[in-house]
A = this chain, B = another copy of it.
Amino acid sequence: MLNLSDTESRILRVACDVFAREGFRNADVQVIADLAGVGKGTVYRHFGNKEQLFLAASKHAVEEVAAHIWKDVIGDADPDDVLANIGTTNMLRKIAASYASYYQRKPGVVELMIQERAEFRQSVFPTHLMHRAEHRGGLERLFQRGMERGELRDFETGPVADAFADMLYGSVVNGCLDGGHQHLPERVACAVEIFINGLACSPIHEE
């Protein structure tokens, strides 16, 4: 996000790869330095310690995801126009599809997310990311609009946003095992479809 020097972004790129491949604990800062073509001291000079390096790499990766989705779903258009044109449910489908396709191409970023959750007990991912992706209200706002437009049933937006994010998270984390990332788009699409339309034959919408 902030201006990164050339050296810093090269280190960060390499760090993402190495941390994704080896995991946080297993990764050797020396290896990162070597692959980035700098001295180990340089890595420490710029990022302080291994932990901060990891966090920076993780943040960096996640911001790229957010930027990618935004570009994919909204592009240069006005978000409201897009929403008006395609409707809330299609918007959700597009977001999910964009998500899935990103991680299909870069499954390493999933490992980064998992490492962060495992080591630091912080999930950089779900809702927060979406928030950023929308640059305002975020997912909750999207659900809010959908309800106002009569496209979605009435729910509290918070829990629904959580549920959506949790589902994506679960799909991506479990879908990226043993090369399963190749089927990520289908896996996510199926989940989203159920999420939107429900599994049961006779919905109790009118309850």
Binding site for B on A (CB under 8 A): 23, 25-26, 89, 111, 114-115, 117-119, 121-123, 125-126, 150-153, 155, 159-160, 162-163, 165-171, 173-175, 177-178, 186-187, 190-191, 194-201, 203-205
Contacts and interface: CB of A to CB of B under 8 A. Distances in A.
Contacts of A153: 197, 199-201
B171 A163 contact: yes
Given A23-B118, A166-B167, 4 more contacts: A153-B201, A167-B195, A198-B199, A198-B200
Contacts of A169: 170, 173-174
A137 to B, nearest CB: 17
Given A117-B114, A166-B167, A159 B190 contact: yes
A150 B202 CA distance: 9
Given A151-B201, A170-B168, A194 B118 contact: no
**Which 5 pairs across A and B sit closest by C-beta, in order of nearness?**
A198-B198, A170-B170, A166-B170, A118-B118, A25-B25
A101 to B, nearest CB: 17
A165 B174 contact: yes
Contacts of A173: 117, 123, 166, 169-170, 173
A160 B196 CA distance: 13
A174 B166 contact: yes
